A and B are shown apart, each in its own frame.
Chain A
Amino acid sequence: MSTPQTLYEKIWNAHVVEQRDDGTCLIFIDRHLVHEVTSPQAFEGLRAAGRRVRRPDLTLAVPDHNLPTTARLDSHGQPIPIADPESAQQLEALERNAPEFGIKYIHASDAKQGIVHVVGPEQGFSLPGTTIVCGDSHTACHGGLGALAFGIGTSEVEHVLATQTLQLTRSKSMEVRVEGELRAGVSAKDVVLHITGVLGAAGGSGHVIEYTGSVIRALSVEGRLTISNMAIEHGARAGLVAPDDTTFAYIKGRPMAPSGADWDAAVAYWRTLATDPGATYDKVVSIDAADIAPSVTWGTSPEDVLPITGIVPDPSSFADPSKQEAARKSLEYMGLTPGTRMTDIEVQNIFIGSCTNSRIEDLRAAAEILKGRKKAANVKWAIVVPGSGLVKQQAEDEGLDRIFTDAGFEWREPGCSACLGMNPDKVPAGERCASTSNRNFVGRQGPGARTHLVSPAMAAAAAVAGKLTDVRAFAN
């Protein structure tokens, strides 16, 4: 019998084109997602070298990062020009580059448009057992389907466009096992925030993490995407969840997914991907579901996680001196005093969106809390940004948009929005935002913006309370 292998080893081994003596491998890339921000210089490089795109059929381009989330068409159905000339120029560059290099392009006003990491799974472009790359670190997201997916820089984007491969060295493997049953009010987002708190922002560094255990198995694909999305926030190269019947049911019938005989062959192959009994990981971390509460961040690193019932820590309580220093800086930036109860922190902004939490289940969870309620008067700005045009349509079909607007939220067009301070959606300096995105870095949501990462239900609850609050108090 052959040696037992982990899911990661199986995917890796299936993609080795060539191995060099030093162990570096040329790895074939099955899927390449392209967006407007990290691609212009790559296409420029191809043009300068007179190179073509090797596999345009395996490449999909969609704009998301820089696109404003306000209405894209006027009352006559004509495109509304983007006000910021630099953003407009970047979008035009992608609109030019995609046809020039023969790449499929989803237009900004197409209902299929959305955040790359929402569009890939939704279209059936992202599949189990594939290698997926994109010039965006949250590409790890697609690992929720059992794909080896990771973010790359622009030079690598150019490299993949030209060769459909990457030169990589094998990462170490880690198992993060979450066993037990999630407590009431605890969502996939809380699980991944908790994991990040346990591992630390660099805890997964050099590793590909496979998330296992009864909690992960019980999650929907959308929840698994949320978890794998933030693998990068605990430093991992990629996250993985072994594909199972839940995964196959999710993929079946999606537009770009295999069908007919191909489907049967694909499922048969996908079933072989699970980690073999007896296979070993370089590191194993076990987490008890009972320890996970609705969670929130207090600082400027995603590892700064607390249960919502917690208090702002005293920097001197950390053993590591450099962490003490970092905590002091974080608290200064965040305008927080040690000892403050998290539930006493007022928020002026609410952002429900990003590739972590903008799929239909996320919007349903937030709407569930907001139904029949209104945002507090001190909340000045509350927006919901669906992950794609199709998510938006479905939410409208279910009447969720009305629940949000009745509660005082703005209902926006799909895009990255306030996840990153790049397009017009920004949190004003010095103000706080309860945000369903993935990063609470200094300036991430705009210069001086203070971010508290939470789940969609927690963000909705914060909107109603006007401060960070325990969603469990809202249980109907």
Chain B
Amino acid sequence: MKAISRVEGRAYPVGLKNIDTDVIIPAVWLKTISRAGLGKGAFESLRAVPGNVFDDPEYAGAPILIAGDNFGCGSSREHAAWAMADLGISAVIAPSFSDIFSGNAFKNGLLAIVLPQAAIDRLMEVARTDEIHIDLETQTVTTPFQDRFEFEIDPFRKHCLINGVDEIGLTLKSSDAISVYEAKLSANRPWLAPNPV
């Protein structure tokens, strides 16, 4: 995983609540067997609306997206995180995220930052004209107008993001503990080995 500690630039002011992963990347795009190239299908239904922010040259290549509550709800498709990354987005700021999406985002080095609605309202305003800065080290979102919002992040996730840690590699270091657990399991709950069919 690529290490990430700062994101700065323009932000797509989307603002909507309950943006589901079908909106982020519709199912027809899921036939791919690779991770790349999904940016083309990202936010297809929103982009079908004339004057949408994604096709507005003002925001071209913006690395940040600002949204409403419950961002990334719905289908567990990780393609949503891949599509956003492919579009050049490195961070999403919203009042809340679906659990699955924030996990997927994290695993792809995409920051999912939770801020209260009042901060979102302010950032939506700033995003229309100016850049936004995110600093993972200090856990802050700032604007050129002296706005400063602090966000929470799980310390483990923060560590992995800043150092670009491969989670599977990390877990494999616990292989022995997993083997011990498995041995206990076959002794205590032997029925868990499925009957062969």
Contact = CB atoms under 8 A, between A and B. Distances in A.
A5 interface: no
Task: Specify which of A153, A165, A329 lies most central, judged by the most chain B CB atoms within 10 Å of its CB.
Answer: A153
Nearest to A236: B99
Interface stretch (B6-14, B103-111, B126-134, B136-144): B103-111
Contacts of B167: 155, 159, 167
Nearest to B159: A22
Interface string B105-123: 0011000000000000000
Contact of A90 (B33, B74, B193): B33
Contact of A17 (B27, B34, B155, B178): B178
Given A17-B177, A58-B194, A256-B195, A153 B31 contact: no
A165 B185 CA distance: 14
Interface stretch (B18-26, B56-64, B84-92): B18-26
Interface stretch (A258-266, A275-283, A288-296, A360-368): A258-266
B4 interface: no
Contact of B70 (A30, A165, A205, A262): A205
Contacts of B174: 17-18, 26, 163, 165
Nearest to A136: B76
A291 to B, nearest CB: 24
B195 A255 contact: yes
Interface in A419-435: 420-422
A103 interface: no
A135 B104 CA distance: 11
A202 B69 contact: yes
B156 A165 contact: no
Contact of B22 (A90, A93, A444): A444
A41 B35 contact: yes
B78 A441 contact: no
A262 B191 contact: yes
* Interface size of A as a range: 35 or more
B23 to A, nearest CB: 6
A89 B33 contact: yes
B185 A28 contact: yes
B52 interface: no
B73 interface: yes
A256 B31 contact: no
A265 B173 CA distance: 33
Interface string A57-90: 1100000011000000000000000001011011
A188 to B, nearest CB: 21
A163 B76 contact: no
B81 interface: yes
Given A17-B178, A153-B81, A442-B45, A422 B30 contact: yes
B53 to A, nearest CB: 15
Interface string A27-40: 01010000001101
B170 to A, nearest CB: 8
Contact of B78 (A155, A167, A263, A447): A155
Given A22-B156, A26-B174, A443-B22, A86 B76 contact: no
A110 to B, nearest CB: 11
B146 interface: no
A83 to B, nearest CB: 13
A213 B96 CA distance: 30
Given A49-B168, A151-B76, A22 B100 contact: no
A125 B194 contact: yes
B100 A137 contact: yes
A157 B51 CA distance: 38
B152 to A, nearest CB: 13
Contact of B68 (A18, A265, A322): A322
A237 B100 CA distance: 8
Given A206-B99, A322-B17, A439-B22, A235 B73 contact: yes
Contacts of B196: 256
A201 interface: yes
B69 A322 contact: yes
Contact of B31 (A86, A329, A444): A86
A162 interface: yes
Given A159-B168, A237-B99, 16 more contacts: A17-B174, A24-B154, A28-B181, A57-B193, A84-B31, A86-B31, A90-B31, A130-B192, A135-B76, A136-B76, A155-B78, A155-B104, A156-B104, A301-B18, A442-B22, A447-B26
List 10 tightest A-B contacts by C-beta distance, closest first.
A258-B191, A153-B78, A40-B33, A153-B104, A151-B76, A155-B107, A422-B27, A86-B31, A262-B191, A137-B76
Interface of A: 17-18, 20, 22, 24, 26, 28, 30, 37-38, 40-41, 44, 49, 51, 54, 57-58, 65-66, 84, 86-87, 89-90, 93, 104, 123-125, 127, 130, 135-137, 139, 150-156, 158-159, 162-165, 167, 169, 171, 201-202, 205-206, 232, 235, 237, 255-259, 262-263, 265-266, 269, 301, 322-323, 325-326, 329, 420-422, 439, 441-444, 447
Interface of B: 16-18, 20, 22-23, 26-28, 30-35, 44-45, 68-70, 73-79, 81, 96, 98-100, 103-104, 107-108, 154-156, 167-168, 171-172, 174-175, 177-178, 181-182, 185, 189-197
